[in-house]
Amino acid sequence: MSTTIRQTRSQPQPIRRSPKFLKYIQDVGQITAATLLGSTMIASSVVAGGLVGLAISFRNLPDVRVLRNYVPSETSYIYDIKGTLLYSLHDEANREVVDLNEVSPHLKRAVLAIEDSYFYSHNGINPSSVGRAVLANFQAGSTVEGGSTVTMQLVKNLFLTPERAISRKVAEAVLALRLEQIFAKDEILEMYLNQVYWGHNNYGVETAAQTYFNKSAKDLNLAEAAVMAGLIQAPEDYSPFVNYEFTKQRQATVLSRMRQLGWISAEEETAARNQPLMIGEIKSFRSSIAPYVTEAAVQELKEKFGNESVLKGGMRVQTTVDLNLQRIAEETVRRNHTALRQRGLYADQMALVAVDPRTHFVKAMVGGVDHTTSQFNRAIQAQRQPGSAFKPFVYYAGFASGRYTPDSLIADTPVSYPDGYEYYSPKNYDSTFMGNIPIRRALEVSRNVPAIRLGQAVGINQIIEICRTLGIKSPMEPVISLPLGAVDLTPMEMAGAYATFASNGWHSPPTFIVQVTDSSGNVILDNTPRPQLVLDPWAAAALNDVLQGVITRGTGTAAQIGRPAAGKTGTTDAQRDIWFVGYVPQLATAIWVGNDNYSPLGVGATGGGFVAPVWRDFMQQALADEPVEGFRPPSDFVRP
């Protein structure tokens, strides 16, 4: 078989829109005058050798040679990191292309029996088949055979409009003759089986077999093959999802025709008629089992390849997400959202992102409490103020400057800074001051004034530059209050940045996609991590050491999970946003809680009191099978 035509289940797909298959074989009593006249013209033309003249008259007919490079649109599939199917996406045509040798022999015989039993003996058109079809249909009392050949149906599908006119019928014949001159019979049958419409948005035999019988086309038995072949004439009418009785009647018609042709025995016909059918389910446009994840992956794909390639290109996409971990994350969000509201927190939404610091692969992501009621993905689209969860960027800048260590003293005393025509005087959460305290303690208990002082000492622009290095792209203004989280960031940005702290400064761009292949298995995108050292290792280790204290004896004690962990609470003014972002060497997780309309969550709402327990709940489940690992101490690295 020519390699230019030969399709496999994993063949690469260019962007082409394939028209929907329209069936025109009618019952004997409904054959129109135009169809009879068209058939008569074809028969007369063949006998007289006049098709050459007809071909000349159709100068604008397409060149069928283009089919040597034609590849039909194909469904793309998205999997989790272990190969579990999450979602399939396609345009109108849900199709998976297969070789002819991947189609059950029963199905090939059944299709030819009911659609074109002389396929291997004619040259594209078969004038005498019209008479045979009339006789066969009369004897059967129903339409058991049509006048159009498989080749004519294929060219009608690919090249012509559904116009019911003599000129179109003749053009169909001319193109069929030409197609048979260029392609072998098996090639034509393969194209036909992959192109034909089988109902419920299934184009091509493979997706149809998966839909109707939950099996591959190569595994269809005789009973199932007869059902499939019978669908072609009127897919939705004969669909077992619509009218099972009609399906069985049509199946009997196909089996009877196969027996009449001598292609099956009477015993095989009877056995197939009596065999129970295990019907599948409609799969086209089926919802994703992890919609927030697959929507994010599709967006990443479209930015790389474009919309058409994603919808029609037959991609096989391996995402970074572990479905088991994703389900844990989704259930954690649902359960704790209910629990928080029962505790009196006026929170409508929650978002969670978990990133592997070793690869920066997104392992789980929840964009809201319920995707069915809101598709807005707060994990990657909602920019909210992180509050004190931003402070680690400031303290890292201080450590990286070489002027500060975790034990350096910093003043927690009143201070004012000129800010335009006014003065900015930061205050602590409890409106008190602690005097000179170690940096370690200042971050553990989340003092605001020391963070502002340190921000001014190292430079606000330097802090912004560090954030950019960590992959944060949201707009940032160099305001005095930036160290207190006066900036809008996404949970994804926070999780990705903290993951770089967890890896002692090694960073890769966070992604939802491990690898993409075309449908023939060729790799077209490879996101194998290529981490770069973007932070000073000593400064990152020093920060990790201090952030462990946040959990062991600071504002995040509710996040203790029985193993070394580092993290930071975050609470904004007026309690509109509360956070906890934390990590172990194997996983960094950011959780945000708030309202889409920015309304306050209630008096006393803090990241430490309400979100840290949610983080603990998720991490304990997520790390259940992970070995306990500690962080490398600052002494392992050279101080800048």
Could you give all domains of the chain from N- to C-terminal order, each with its CATH number?
A: 28-73+101-274 (1.10.3810.10), 325-636 (3.40.710.10)
Of the candidates 132, 129, 127, 133, the one whose C-alpha atom is nearest the C-alpha of residue 145 is 133
Spans of the chain below 50 pLDDT = 1-50, 53-57
pLDDT on residue 33: 35
Using an 8 Å Cβ cutoff, are 466 and 324 in contact? no
**What is the C-alpha to C-alpha distance for residues 333 and 593, in angstroms, rounded to an integer?**
10
pLDDT on residue 144: 54
281 belongs to the catalytic site: no
45 belongs to the catalytic site: no
Catalytic residue among 18, 148, 388, 508: 388
Of the candidates 351, 355, 321, 354, the one whose C-alpha atom is nearest the C-alpha of residue 333 is 351
**What is the C-alpha to C-alpha distance for residues 143 and 104, in angstroms, rounded to an integer?**
24
Q: Which residues contact 11 (CB under 8 A, 6 or more apart)?
A: 71, 74, 97, 314, 518, 519, 520
Neighbours of 573 (CB within 10 A): 13
pLDDT in tens, 48-68: 344 554 444 455 677 778 788
Retrieve residue 614's tokens. Answer: 């949610």
**What is the C-alpha to C-alpha distance for residues 296 and 376, in angstroms, rounded to an integer?**
11
Retrieve residue 134's tokens. Answer: 């009339």
CA distances in angstroms from 460 to 22, 78, 385, 429, 587, listed in the order given:
66, 42, 17, 22, 29
Using an 8 Å Cβ cutoff, are 87 and 289 in contact? yes
**What is the C-alpha to C-alpha distance for residues 213 and 224, in angstroms, rounded to an integer?**
8
> For the chain, how far is it from start to end, CA to CA, in angstroms?
66
Retrieve residue 108's tokens. Answer: 């090939």
Q: Which residue has the tokens 């920019």?
A: 383
Residue 362: its H or E element = strand 361-366
Q: What is the dihedral of CA 310, 514, 99, 250, to 10 degrees?
A: -60
Backbone angles phi, psi at 426, to 5 degrees: -65, 150
- Look up residue 321 and give its amino acid: V
Instruction: Indicate the pairing of strand 316-319 with strand 566-571.
Output: unpaired
Using an 8 Å Cβ cutoff, are 532 and 507 in contact? yes
CA-only gyration radius of the chain, Å: 33
What's the farthest any 2 CA atoms get from each other in the chain?
Answer: 108
Using an 8 Å Cβ cutoff, are 435 and 469 in contact? no
Q: How many H helices and E strands in the chain?
A: 22, 18
Alpha carbon 294 to its chain centroid, in Å, reads 3
* Residues forming beta bridges with residue 354, ordered by sequence position: 364, 589
Helices (H), 313-406: 323-342, 391-400
pTM over 0.85: no
Q: Which residues contact 294 (CB under 8 A, 6 or more apart)?
A: 78, 86, 87, 288, 319
Catalytic residue among 115, 295, 330, 444: 115
Using an 8 Å Cβ cutoff, are 352 and 343 in contact? no
Helices (H), 90-195: 105-115, 127-140, 150-159, 166-182, 185-195
Q: Which residues contact 296 (CB under 8 A, 6 or more apart)?
A: 362, 365, 367, 377, 379, 380, 512
* Residues forming beta bridges with residue 364, ordered by sequence position: 354
Count of residues making up the chain: 640
Helices (H), 183-316: 185-195, 205-213, 222-231, 235-238, 244-260, 266-274, 291-305, 307-312
Neighbours of 529 (CB within 10 A): 15
Neighbours of 562 (CB within 10 A): 10
**What is the C-alpha to C-alpha distance for residues 541 and 635, in angstroms, rounded to an integer?**
9
Q: What is the dihedral of CA 556, 560, 563, 566, to 10 degrees?
A: -10
**What is the C-alpha to C-alpha distance for residues 389 and 606, in angstroms, rounded to an integer?**
11
Range 478-502 burial, b when 16+ CB lie within 10 A, else e: eebbbbbbbbebbbbbbbbbbbbbb
**What is the C-alpha to C-alpha distance for residues 535 and 393, in angstroms, rounded to an integer?**
11
